[in-house]
Amino acid sequence: MQQSRILVTGGAGFIGSALVRFLIHQTNSIVLNVDKLTYAANLASLDSVADVSRYSFIQADICDQQKMMELFFAFKPEKIIHLAAESHVDRSIDGPSTFIQTNIIGTYNLLEVARQYYSSLPSKKRALFRFHHVSTDEVYGDLSKDDFPFSEAHRYEPSSPYSASKAASDHLVRAWNRTYKLPCSISNCSNNYGPFHFPEKLIPLTIINALHHKAIPVFGDGLQIRDWLFVEEHAEAIYRIVTQGKVGETYNVGGNSERTNIEVVRAICNILDKLKPSKTLGSYKELIQFVTDRPGHDRRYAIDSSKLDNALNWQASVKFEEGLEHTVSWFINNEHWWRPIIDSQDATKRYGVDV
């Protein structure tokens, strides 16, 4: 296999760590993981690769342009995969400034560093270079029940400070590609789920609350619809885009698994009833509690991944029911990973149901 030098930003986060594990276990890549290690990052998610010689980690902030410049010119990457971002909608509503700083200014800094680094490369190295930006379907706004899923041509209509900041970063990447000819690509993904998912998000929050016999919060009527993508398949899709996709293109990555939030929560409860039945409850569904909806809550996201399928022969293959049971089982058997998080931050107390 070809050995590429890949710099990953945000590689200690949920999607980032899945990508790093994929790159080390499934490819011959040399990987530098650059992560600020904010509250949602966890190096324990990378224990399986920590001792591999092709993997290295540096704690650094993408907003520190001088530090990024040093890292680029020292590591000499051929590919940049940019995942570092603040991503929790509720947190963005309560405190948008961090999202503006990290998601917009941080992306700008990386693009400027990448531009200077790229201009220094000889022509053969330039031909190998790629800056890939990982974004979200939330930049498109929301859909009604009968609307066609988001395509790459769908107009941007972000609803929250989080999605607005990601939309801005997408625009910056496109501008640096068009104006400065920096070889860039973008992917916009649907909701990810799987092992190592931070406990403030809907699926892990539901699992952990249920295991503790705590209330399982569901926003509003629970009929918001999301498309769910198994995180390990997303990692594979990112690599396919970075290595085979066209410069200047955007690719939507979806799981083809639309479910309402309440369907997801009830499915988790059914799996727990089977795998770890409660001694005091007839079903974990008794813990479901509907709570006040968040401001500007999008009703439906759905991704059309046909471009990715037609151009790069990639489509999601993990059925949601199988991926969800695998995820629930993982959380049951890996309390050593999530227990320190909820004990130190009580992430499930204030935040959660982030979909």
Integer Cα distance of 208 and 6 in angstroms = 34
Q: Would you put residue 352 in left (φ > 0), alpha (ψ -120 to 50) or beta?
A: left
Comparing C-alpha atoms, which of 176, 201, 162, 143 is closest to residue 15? Answer: 201
- Report CA torsion sign: 159, 161, 164, 170: negative
Q: Is residue 263 part of a domain?
A: no
pLDDT digits (tens, 9 = 90+) for 178-195: 999 999 999 999 999 999
pTM of the model: 0.95
Position 69 scores a pLDDT of 98
H/E element holding 345? helix 335-345
Q: Would you put residue 293 in left (φ > 0), alpha (ψ -120 to 50) or beta?
A: beta
Position 348 scores a pLDDT of 46
Position 318 scores a pLDDT of 97
DSSP-derived 3-state class of residue 79: strand
Q: Is residue 342 part of a domain?
A: no
Integer Cα distance of 189 and 332 in angstroms = 27
Which positions of the chain have pLDDT values less than 50?
347-348, 350-354
Integer Cα distance of 109 and 124 in angstroms = 25
Kind of pairing between the strands at 216-219 and 288-291 = parallel
DSSP-derived 3-state class of residue 82: strand
Point out which residues pair with 132 in neighbouring strands. Answer: 81, 185
Integer Cα distance of 237 and 88 in angstroms = 23
The count of residues in the chain is 355
Comparing C-alpha atoms, which of 151, 236, 147 is closest to residue 194? Answer: 236
Please count the structural domains in the chain.
1
pLDDT digits (tens, 9 = 90+) for 14-73: 999 999 999 999 999 999 999 999 999 999 999 999 999 999 999 999 999 999 999 999
Q: What is the CATH number of the domain that holds 56?
A: 3.40.50.720
**CA distances (Å), 301 to each of 22, 113, 221, 235, 307, in order?**
26, 33, 16, 20, 17
The answer to whether 68 and 32 have CB atoms below 8 angstroms apart is no
Q: Is residue 28 part of a domain?
A: yes
Q: Is residue 98 part of a domain?
A: yes
Task: Give catalytic residue positions.
Answer: 137-138, 162
Q: Which residues contact 106 (CB under 8 A, 6 or more apart)?
A: 61, 62, 63, 84, 85
Q: Is residue 38 part of a domain?
A: yes
- Please state the separation of Cα 82 from the chain's center in Å: 11
Q: Is residue 33 part of a domain?
A: yes
| DSSP letters for 222-289 | S--EEEEEEHHHHHHHHHHHHHHSPTT-EEEE--S-EEEHHHHHHHHHHHHHHHS--SS-S-GGGGEE
Integer Cα distance of 227 and 153 in angstroms = 18
Position 52 scores a pLDDT of 98
Q: Range of 246's domain?
A: 5-198+227-258+300-317
Position 187 scores a pLDDT of 98
